[in-house]
Each structure stands twice: as structure tokens, then as C-alpha cells.
A and B are shown apart, each in its own frame.
Chain A
Amino acid sequence: MAGPDKFDRFEDAILPHLDAAYNLARWLMRDDHEAQDAVQDAYLRALRFFSGFRGGDGRVWLLSIVRNTCFSRMRSGRARQGDSEFDEQMHAIDNSAANPETLLLRSQDEASLRRALESLPTEFREVIVMRELEGLSYKEIADVAELPIGTVMSRLARARKRLAQLLTGEGSG
């Protein structure tokens, strides 16, 4: 009797978070096809490990599996392309404000927003996606991204600064 029951519970607790899963994967992989593969892979993993799910927030649980799947796929891709690893210190915070009019205009232009978000380093992009697009709390972001809770706020601060610079066309490093 454990069999069918498990699948029903999975459909109730995990399936409703498919949009969130795809959105995170789509922004991490920056490609529809890759994102679909990663999400499908993540769902199969989630189903296999579902006995380890202790109830609670199915979305956070699923998103951490999606994120791990995406990162391991990117790591194998990155090894091929020879991309550099993320270095938080390289993205030092600069307190100068972006031009407010330009920022307002570009923030309302979806194409500019998407371009800027796509150009962010992955580690910045994911916190913006989780916070602003999925509305996750700091604690939830810390759980999904395996970050110390104290790092979430400082990383969001850097990510937003960088996003503002990309939107207003300042700095291109």
C-alpha cells in the first residue's frame, strides 16, 4: 500500500511547484531545452528521494534538487568551455547610485531587464530569481542555495547593485 500512496503524495506536494522549478532552471541554464531536461531530471530524482522528504515546504525541497541538477549540468558544460569559477570578491560593492531616470526606463522594458538578468553571474542571478521572481524568504534562499543565512542579504545587495549597473549600461566587467 505504500506504493500508490507515495505517488499521490508526490503529486500533491511536489507537482504544483513545476512553474517555480522551471523558472529557476530556465534562468540558471539560460536555455529552454536545457532547462526542460534539467527539470525532468530533477523531478525523477525528487521522486526517487521522496521518502526522505519530511513534509514541510515542498517548493524549497524541490528547488534545491533543481538547483543541484542545474549546477552539476553547468559544471560539466563549464569544464568543456573553460569558464571561470565565481569569485564573490571580484564583485566588490560600489555605492554610487545608478542614474535614476535610466534605471526607471530600463526596468520597465522587459527586453532590457531580461538581458541584464541573463548577464549577471549565476550566483547573483539565482538569488535575484529566488527573491524577486519566486518571492522566497532569506531562510528559504539559504536552504535552496546552501548558503549561510548571513550571506543571503549581502549577496542580494551585490546582485542588485550589479543588475542596476547592467541596466543603466555602466561598468561592463
Chain B
Amino acid sequence: MNCETARSLIHGYADGELDLERSLEIERHLAGCAACTAALREIRVMRSGLRSGTVAFDAPAELRAKIRDAIDDRRRAEDVASRRSSSRLAMLSRSPSRWTGGAFAAAAVLMIIVLVGGLRRSASSTDALIGSEIVASHVRSLMADHLADVISTNQHTVKPWFDGKIDFAPTVEDFAAQGFPLTGGRLDYADGRPVAALVYRRNKHIINLFTWPIADARETAAQVEQRQGYNLVHWDKGGMAYWAVSDLNGAELSKFAALVRDDGAPVASPG
């Protein structure tokens, strides 16, 4: 790594935004470069100054009070409006027990919302964690200009590159004919283990496809979700977990996922 590259990456390094491999490269460079070490020291000296003392302003108490008042005003205004409309409804229905009926209905609806919300959260909390890891890895790969360790559009170059670097052989397919050319691959880290990241392109959009073996051999349907503005598609198949992430729109990313699913009959190999 030369100083010019190091001088900008050093900020990502100081901010804890680089992946492991880039961080190690920077550290190797720093070990032999006094000028870049001085640049890193500048960042840290200013940071310690900025973070100590009272450079950051706390909100004045009067502002806090004003905002609380403003919220309470709005709340009262909406309460009055909703009470008016519910009493109008009650008059129309002429029910003697209109208030209790309404309260029961409201309580029932609330309970359903709480139940459904709770269930959904618990079933997918692991996936949610992995999902945010995947998005973070995707962002890091774009930011540090570290998309690929092996840059090749040839699946027969990319696949063997993983040999000996991870304990499984990911299926690597090029989908150039379908408009999703393979551009490379790299090692990444997710779900507490090294994983294969395959890089594809759709026009100007980058797609990262993360894959690794899992204990559960069940096949799951592709789940599409949005996270921090990125689209994620996740499925498990043949004992492998797959996560595709991109800023590409959901429909096109699903199309990509469908291509991978059909061709990808991945084989977890012991070496």
C-alpha cells in the first residue's frame, strides 16, 4: 500500500470502518511509515480534544420544555378531535354501552398488534442480526473500495480462489447472459464465521451475495426485506445460507435471487 492510499484509508481505520483485511494492511503500512503514523496521530489528538470537555452542546432546559409543551398541545388537540368524532359515531349507533364496547374493541385490537409484533420479532431476531451484519459488510465493501480479493468475470477463476481460504466450496456461477455479470469474490465475515462473498453487477449497481454452510438443511423461501435503504434477499438451500444485498430495487434483486437459487445446488465440501 502506498502513502496516497493510506492517507485516505487511515480515516476509515481511525473511525473503525474498515474490514479486517484492510485494517491489517494499514497497520503493516503504518509500521514502516512515520509520515502516515503522524497523520493518524493528528486524527486522534483532535478527537480527544473534541470529545473531552464541553465542545458538544447539550440542549438548554428551556428548549426541552418548549418542545414538551408543543407535543402536549398537539396531543390535546388530537384528543379533542377524536373524542368529538367518536361521540358522533356513538350517537349514530345509539348503543347504551357505547363506551365499554369501544374500549373492548380497542383493547382487542391492541392485543392482536402486540401479539403479532412479538411473534414476528422473536422468530426473526437472529436473521435480523445477520441482516444488519450483511448490510454493514456490503457498505464496507463499497466504501473502502474493497469489493473483491479476486477480480474476475470467470467463475472458474473465482471458485478455486476460495480453496484453502474457507472450509467449504461455494457454488460460483456467472449470470452475464441474464444481465448479472460476476465481477469477483472476496472473504468476508458474518454470523460469527468466515463466509464467501461473491460480487455481481447489474448495470451500475453492485450486488454482494454472501453464502456459508449452516447446520439446518431445510430449504426456505426467499425473504425480501429493506434495511437502511438497501434491499436484502435471504434464503437457505441445500445446507447453505444465502444473503443477497444491493441498492438495486427489490424486484430485480429477487430476479437475481431466483437465478442463483435455481442454478445454485451448492455442495458443502469438507475441504
* In the complex with contacts A7-B74, A139-B228, A133-B56 CB distance below 8 A: yes
The answer to whether A82 has its CB under 8 Å from any CB of chain B is no
Question: Per-residue 0/1 for A8-36: is the Cβ within 8 Å of any B Cβ (1 yes, 0 no)?
Answer: 00110001001101110011000010011
| Set of chain A residues within 8 Å of B45, measured between Cβ atoms | 100, 103-104, 107
The answer to whether B15 has its CB under 8 Å from any CB of chain A is yes
* Inter-subunit contact B64/A18 (CB<8 Å): yes
| Set of chain A residues within 8 Å of B51, measured between Cβ atoms | 132-133
* Inter-subunit contact B79/A3 (CB<8 Å): yes
* In the complex with contacts A104-B45, A156-B11, A97-B57 CB distance below 8 A: no
The answer to whether B229 has its CB under 8 Å from any CB of chain A is yes
* Inter-subunit contact A133/B59 (CB<8 Å): no
The answer to whether B214 has its CB under 8 Å from any CB of chain A is no
Query: Top 10 closest A-B pairs, CB basis?
Result: A107-B49, A22-B59, A133-B56, A132-B50, A26-B57, A3-B78, A7-B75, A18-B59, A1-B106, A157-B11
> A22 vs B45: C-alpha distance in the bound complex, in angstroms?
25
6 examples of A-B residue contacts, CB within 8 angstroms: A3-B81, A98-B42, A110-B53, A139-B139, A153-B8, A167-B46
* Inter-subunit contact A107/B143 (CB<8 Å): no
* Interchain CB contact (< 8 A) of A156 among B15, B39, B50, B78: B15
The interface size of chain A toward B, counting residues with CB under 8 Å, comes to: 59
> A173 vs B51: C-alpha distance in the bound complex, in angstroms?
26
* Interchain CB contact (< 8 A) of B67 among A18, A97, A103, A157: A18
**CB proximity of A171 to chain B, nearest CB, Å:** 15
The answer to whether B266 has its CB under 8 Å from any CB of chain A is no
Return the chain A residue nearest B82 by Cβ: A3
| Set of chain B residues within 8 Å of A113, measured between Cβ atoms | 49-50, 55
Which residues B17-46 have CB closer than 8 A to chain A? 17, 35, 38-39, 41-43, 45-46
Point out residues on A near B: beta carbons under 8 Å.
Answer: 1, 3-4, 7, 10-11, 15, 18-19, 21-23, 26-27, 32, 35-36, 39-40, 43-44, 47, 56, 93, 95, 97-98, 100, 103-104, 106-110, 113-114, 117, 128-129, 131-134, 137-139, 143, 149-150, 152-154, 156-157, 160, 163-164, 167
* Inter-subunit contact A143/B46 (CB<8 Å): no
> A134 vs B3: C-alpha distance in the bound complex, in angstroms?
29
Return the chain B residue nearest A134 by Cβ: B56
Return the chain A residue nearest B83 by Cβ: A3
Which residues B128-156 have CB closer than 8 A to chain A? 136, 139, 142-143, 145
Scoring B42, B58, B68, B81 by chain A CB atoms within 10 A of each residue's CB, the highest score goes to: B42
The answer to whether B202 has its CB under 8 Å from any CB of chain A is no
The answer to whether B122 has its CB under 8 Å from any CB of chain A is no
> A153 vs B5: C-alpha distance in the bound complex, in angstroms?
12
| Set of chain B residues within 8 Å of A19, measured between Cβ atoms | 56-59
| Set of chain A residues within 8 Å of B7, measured between Cβ atoms | 93, 95, 157
> A111 vs B109: C-alpha distance in the bound complex, in angstroms?
56
> A154 vs B50: C-alpha distance in the bound complex, in angstroms?
20
* Inter-subunit contact A138/B139 (CB<8 Å): yes
* Inter-subunit contact A100/B58 (CB<8 Å): no
| Set of chain B residues within 8 Å of A11, measured between Cβ atoms | 71
Return the chain B residue nearest A161 by Cβ: B42
The answer to whether B47 has its CB under 8 Å from any CB of chain A is yes
* Inter-subunit contact B67/A27 (CB<8 Å): no
| Set of chain B residues within 8 Å of A138, measured between Cβ atoms | 12, 15, 17, 139, 143
> A144 vs B49: C-alpha distance in the bound complex, in angstroms?
24
* Inter-subunit contact A133/B66 (CB<8 Å): no
* Inter-subunit contact A47/B60 (CB<8 Å): no
| Set of chain A residues within 8 Å of B178, measured between Cβ atoms | none
| Set of chain A residues within 8 Å of B15, measured between Cβ atoms | 131, 137-138, 153, 156
| Set of chain B residues within 8 Å of A114, measured between Cβ atoms | 55
* In the complex with contacts A40-B66, A137-B17, A138-B15, A153-B50 CB distance below 8 A: no
* Interchain CB contact (< 8 A) of B59 among A10, A39, A108: A39
| Set of chain B residues within 8 Å of A3, measured between Cβ atoms | 75, 78-79, 81-82
| Set of chain B residues within 8 Å of A131, measured between Cβ atoms | 15
* Inter-subunit contact A97/B42 (CB<8 Å): yes
